[in-house]
Structure 1
Amino acid sequence: MHTPKASAAHLGELFRIFLWLGITSFGGPVAHLGYFREAFVVRRRWLGESDFADLVALCQFLPGPASSQVGFAIGLRRGGLPGALVAWCAFTLPSAVALVLFAAGASALGGELGQALLHGLKLVAVAVVAHAVWGMAGKLCPDLIRAAIALIALCLALLLGGAAGQLGAIMLGAGIGLWRCRPVPMLASAHPLIPSRRWSLPALIVFLVLLLLPLMAASGGGAVIAVMAAFYRVGALVFGGGHVVLPLLEAAVVEPGWVTQSVFVTGYGMAQAVPGPLFTFAAYLGAAMAPGTHGWLLAALATVMIFLPGMLLLIGVLPHWERLRASASAQRLIQGTNAAVVGILAAALYDPIWQSAIVAPLDIVLAALGFGLLTCCHWPAWRVVVLLVAAAVGIGLVG
């Protein structure tokens, strides 16, 4: 794969296209990939079907936000590293700004109306996460071994709690996968993705060096280093992307007391109503940590750090993807890891999502309605947000 030098025209075109996608791409990671295919394979023919499928396979294999990584890779192909950065910024900006503005205004939502609105967003989180667990369990735990891995991960995450339980579950899942899972044969690509290897090793070195940030934070590196370490660690551990970020972020920001569980769950519900990548939930959390300008700076820092590991890994691994995809050991590891994250997400559905949102029998009815509309009627998440928030507000005002 050739990565051309960026020109102003290329960069401007990439920015316009990805900004429009960032504004209009509702529906989560799977829907984002559909928008990307329509924009870059069908309409503009920047990639062939096999090229696009290979990019999707690689980004689903690596930790990080799969749809954002695909967009980053398309920008890399079109305009080199500057093109990749422009594509990521444009796709991420709309939802990040929207969530920061919501965080800034959420504290002003007092009274019965504001509390009912926030409660409706918590009910949305219950429905959306339950839907995610249901869908991921069917795809990632199709056999007894992987179902058992998910169950063990669920128990570990609930019993140990926090980052220790989640990291232990991921490591145990990877180990069992390596031991017991069966690799799936993969056909060789007709058009291998072999970009320049110039940045491959430096990107992997930076990825590994930044994993040492928690050590710096623990040795008195200050609040900013602690925030960088927390969000970078989450981005480096999120296998499966999307909603899997929820339990890792909850352990990273609620346990230290940076935000309350109520603020966390409310923001997660709001994140379902905006387009673009779900990882921009990090921008909301950064803004919620501090008022005013400091909140905006923390939002920008949190957003960059949570996306950074996945992008560094993509740059580092892309030239070696053909060899890696044929490795039976790598396939077993990723199968076990993916099964473990299903259990971790199921644990997060119970604590903190369910415990924070469900306070009355009617809440169960509304959450079940949202789950049914997502699962059976295939409603987009933003429509469920509107319905449940409106119902919660109506019930709150009448009650």
Structure 2
Amino acid sequence: MIGTRHPHFRRGEIFRTFLLLGLTSFGGPIAHLGYFREAFVVRLKWLSESDFADLVALCQFLPGPASSQVGFAIGLRRAGLPGALAAWCAFTLPSAIAMALFASGASALGSDVGQSLIHGLKLVAVAVVANAVWGMAGKLCPDRTRAGIALVAVFMAVFIGGTAGQLGAIVVGAGLGVWWCRPVKTMTRPGRLEFSGRWSRFALALFFLLLLLLPLLPLLPLVASTGGGEVVAVMDAFYRVGALVFGGGHVVLPLLQAEVVDPGWMSESTFLTGYGAAQAMPGPLFTFASYLGAVMAPGVKGWLLAAVATIMIFLPGMLLLVGVLPHWDRLRASSTAQRLIQGTNAAVVGILGAALYAPIWQGAIVEPADFALALAGFLLLTVWRWPAWLVVIALPVGSLVSG
């Protein structure tokens, strides 16, 4: 049994609690952590304040969806691996199913009214990503050193382009962070994150094994002859994105765009439409992968690809969480690790800033009215503090009226 042993009935309690959160947690990963604290620290008292802060610090250190990783870790502490899986499924399934259903019905939006609504969703993407860049830049690039790293990342993402430019920017940002950045004093105390070293080693080995082997599987004659190459390619693309997304949330956008639009799996318009719709969903933003998988093929095959994409984009973050748990205190105290993550986070801001221009701005802003609507959405998010789901309603309606 992994983790602390608990009675069997607690798995159902975990599932019910996280299902309610998955249905009602609007607002993105930072808001999710607020919901989690209210539910598990204040109301249910499953964790102390310091234990919860320790889990949040760990999950923000790792690549992957931070709020989903925190939920997975809470389930793990409460009822072992079955509890962790119950927490992840309950928190993820509502928005994943909703995004796959949206993909199935998106083709019906072919009329002029439907196209105006779709264009409005693209304007939502401009406002939301601009807000994300603004907020992340203030927190992750507060000095000249990290602002410089972000600028280097912008140039690499723009002039090299594609996956190579984005991954290169992350690697260069990490190196510059180790060289230039100063470590910060950690404020959280050592947490009680007990975990089996055997399971930790297994999770880390599986993480790297999948990262290395998935790109090679389509080359095997058996995979090619059985027609499994397409499914394996989807597994590889979404697993690689999940393994390399530092910062979670909106940072997934440019990496996914390079993986699914550049190879021609879908158009930029289809991609941005789904991203805009994802802003209206509760739960983790990574369920955008469910939409992307579903639009790749019609019918049952689309649902299969949606399931594959969803599982694979979340899997690396969960494997890393399990693998790093026993070593977290030592990593947190390492000044090299702190500088590396500062440089990586600054590079992520640059990558997202480059994505704000291409493809998001270029795909959505085609006339002055579009700019006005996108600016209005940005101000509603940043100044008036509207929740994202209200902006998702307002901008498509504005696009419909102005069109």
TM-score bracket relative to the smaller structure: over 0.9
Distance 2:108 2:81 in 1: 41
Cα shift at 1:187: 4.1
Distance 1:349 1:6 in 2: 46
What's 1:346 paired with? 353
Task: Say yes or no: does 1:56 pair with 2:56.
Answer: yes
Distance 1:371 1:70 in 2: 28
Cα shift at 1:262: 0.3
Distance 2:192 2:86 in 1: 25
| CA offset digits 1:23-60 (Å, max 9, x no partner) | 00000000000000000000010000000000000000
What's 2:147 paired with? 147
Distance 1:242 1:266 in 2: 17
Code of the aligned partner of 2:130: A
What's 1:274 paired with? 281
Task: Say yes or no: does 1:239 pair with 2:246.
Answer: yes
What's 2:226 paired with? none
User: Among 298, 313, 336, which residue is 1:306 paired with?
Assistant: 313
- Describe the shift of the 1:382–1:188 C-alpha distance in structure 2 as closer, same or farther (beyond 3 A): closer
Cα shift at 1:198: 3.3
Distance 1:102 1:5 in 2: 40
Cα shift at 1:8: 3.5
Secondary structure of 1:198 counterpart: helix
Distance 2:187 2:53 in 1: 12
What's 2:12 paired with? 12
What's 1:198 paired with? 198
Normalising by structure 1, we get a TM-score of 0.97
What's 2:322 paired with? 315
What's 1:387 paired with? 394
| CA offset digits 1:259-298 (Å, max 9, x no partner) | 1100000000000001000000000000010000000000
Code of the aligned partner of 1:148: G
Code of the aligned partner of 1:142: P
| CA offset digits 1:239-258 (Å, max 9, x no partner) | 00000000000001001111
Cα shift at 1:303: 0.3
CA contact under 8 A between 1:33 and 1:67: conserved in structure 2? yes
Distance 1:217 1:370 in 2: 44
Secondary structure of 2:115 counterpart: helix
CA contact under 8 A between 1:193 and 1:322: conserved in structure 2? no
Cα shift at 1:195: 2.6
Of 4-13 and 125-134, the range deviating more from structure 2: 4-13
Distance 2:3 2:218 in 1: 40
CA contact under 8 A between 1:119 and 1:392: conserved in structure 2? yes
What's 1:136 paired with? 136
What's 1:81 paired with? 81
Distance 2:218 2:382 in 1: 43
Residue ranges of structure 2 left out of the alignment (5+ in a row)? 224-228
CA contact under 8 A between 2:149 and 2:176: conserved in structure 1? yes
Code of the aligned partner of 1:78: R
Code of the aligned partner of 1:274: M
Distance 2:69 2:253 in 1: 18
Code of the aligned partner of 1:360: E
Task: Say yes or no: does 1:99 pair with 2:99.
Answer: yes
Cα shift at 1:351: 0.5
Code of the aligned partner of 1:179: W
Cα shift at 1:217: 4.6
CA RMSD after TM alignment: 1.2
Cα shift at 1:215: 3.0
CA contact under 8 A between 1:194 and 1:320: conserved in structure 2? no
Of 191-200 and 366-375, the range deviating more from structure 2: 191-200
User: Among 362, 375, 384, which residue is 1:377 paired with?
Assistant: 384
Distance 1:318 1:98 in 2: 32
Distance 2:134 2:188 in 1: 31
Residue ranges of structure 1 left out of the alignment (5+ in a row)? none
CA contact under 8 A between 2:190 and 2:329: conserved in structure 1? no
CA contact under 8 A between 2:53 and 2:188: conserved in structure 1? no
Cα shift at 1:196: 2.9
Secondary structure of 2:216 counterpart: helix
Distance 1:66 1:187 in 2: 19
Q: Percent identity?
A: 70
Cα shift at 1:194: 2.7
Code of the aligned partner of 2:381: L
Q: What is the number of residues matched between the two proteins?
A: 395
CA contact under 8 A between 1:216 and 1:225: conserved in structure 2? no
Report matched runs for 1:215-234 at 5 Å.
215-217=215-217, 219=219, 221=223, 222-234=229-241
Code of the aligned partner of 1:98: A
User: Among 358, 363, 368, which residue is 2:370 paired with?
Assistant: 363
Cα shift at 1:219: 2.5
Distance 1:135 1:217 in 2: 40
Code of the aligned partner of 1:178: V
Secondary structure of 1:318 counterpart: helix
CA contact under 8 A between 1:240 and 1:341: conserved in structure 2? yes
